[in-house]
Structure 1
Amino acid sequence: MTERDRDPDGKPKNARPRDALGRPLPYGEEGVDPVPEDLDLSPSEAITEAQRLLDHGYPFHAHEVFEGSWKSAPLEERTLWQGLAQLAVGLTHLLRGNPSGAASLLKQGQARVRHYEDAPPHGLDIDGLSAWADHLLAEIDRGDPIPEPPVPRLRMP
């Protein structure tokens, strides 16, 4: 049995390299840099970083940024960050060729972010994100492959 990777404090971690969509690669292969676990960003910085990652084809990594914000957010915003993370990982599943997993996560994420549509925090375009999810869900329902799904725009224009 292989020992788990651990940090200096003995906490389990996964040092296995990953591809651009977060899939584990064999040890020794070159992967993409992970999002640092101790990343401490303001909400505005997290949204900017997640948009940068989405724009460059790294929705799994954007999900990791949102997950970090979700874990440190005030209670009244945790649903927002969880929803954003689910939208990003829904896109990840779609790009990995898992439309049913993508649809499930897109629906869950959309439902969570819609709680904030009356007063979108941090300049987020909740209506635009919801429309983006609706578009992808309609494409998934059609059953045709979606080779290049559109990148979501997180902030209002």
Structure 2
Amino acid sequence: MATPRRERNPEGRPQNGRPRDGLGRPLPRGSEGVERIPDDVQLPPVESLVRAQQLLDDGMPFHAHEILEGTWKISTPTERALWQGLAQLAVGLTHLLRGNRVGATSLLTQGRDRIGTYAEAPHDIDIAGLMRWADLLVTALDRGESPVPTVPHLTHRRQFT
């Protein structure tokens, strides 16, 4: 039996063309999924924070993670761990909502630890608030509870001007 060929984008890079649900899970071919975030998305920091917050508010943390990951890939060396940590928090929330407690605990902890190294975060990112949010979830998970997560606020301001 032949191995199926992997889908590729026009540049020849691997790409999964299957539709996805709001939590990023692949759906069967032909299903209607949510709009995908392009694999090569790379937004500047403020635009990334606005778009990621919209996706978090809409209950799509996996897609917020994709936005934040794109910014992580193009960030300056001094901000790289910050963007990686933000992406990990979003995907940690994704795992929690999918029911993967171990993955959620691991990624929320890693994300919290990464952003925690920034005493003064750029772009008005709410480091202290995000750390409290992650700590509450991780503590509940460690106790064996099933926390119902609130939507994290990436910045001190809810609306950007």
Do the two structures share a fold, i.e. TM-score over 0.5? yes
Percentage of identical aligned residues: 57
Q: Which residue identity is paired with 2:137?
A: L
TM-score (norm 1): 0.94
Match of 1:150 in 2: 150
Does the aligned pair in 1 maintain the 2:61–2:94 contact within 8 Å? yes
Match of 1:115 in 2: 117
Alpha-carbon deviation of 1:36?
Answer: 1.5
TM-score (norm 2): 0.92
Unaligned runs of 5+ in 1: none
Task: State the 4+ residue runs in structure 1 displaced beyond 2 angstroms.
Answer: 37-40
Residues in 1 aligned to 2:10 and 2:38: alpha-carbon distance in whole angstroms = 15
Alpha-carbon deviation of 1:39?
Answer: 2.4
Give the helix-richer structure, 1 or 2: 1
Match of 2:136 in 1: 135
Residues in 2 aligned to 1:68 and 1:145: alpha-carbon distance in whole angstroms = 30
Alpha-carbon deviation of 1:5?
Answer: 1.1
Residues in 2 aligned to 1:6 and 1:101: alpha-carbon distance in whole angstroms = 28
Alpha-carbon deviation of 1:40?
Answer: 3.2
Greater mean alpha carbon deviation, residues 53-62 or residues 33-42: 33-42
Residues in 1 aligned to 2:67 and 2:9: alpha-carbon distance in whole angstroms = 20
Greater mean alpha carbon deviation, residues 71-80 or residues 9-18: 9-18
Number of residues of Structure 1 aligned to a counterpart in Structure 2: 155
From 86, 89, 92, give the equivalent of 1:87.
Answer: 89
Alpha-carbon deviation of 1:34?
Answer: 1.1
Residues in 1 aligned to 2:94 and 2:9: alpha-carbon distance in whole angstroms = 27
Match of 2:51 in 1: 49
Q: Which residue identity is paired with 2:78?
A: E
Cα-Cα RMSD? 1.1
Alpha-carbon deviation of 1:74?
Answer: 0.7
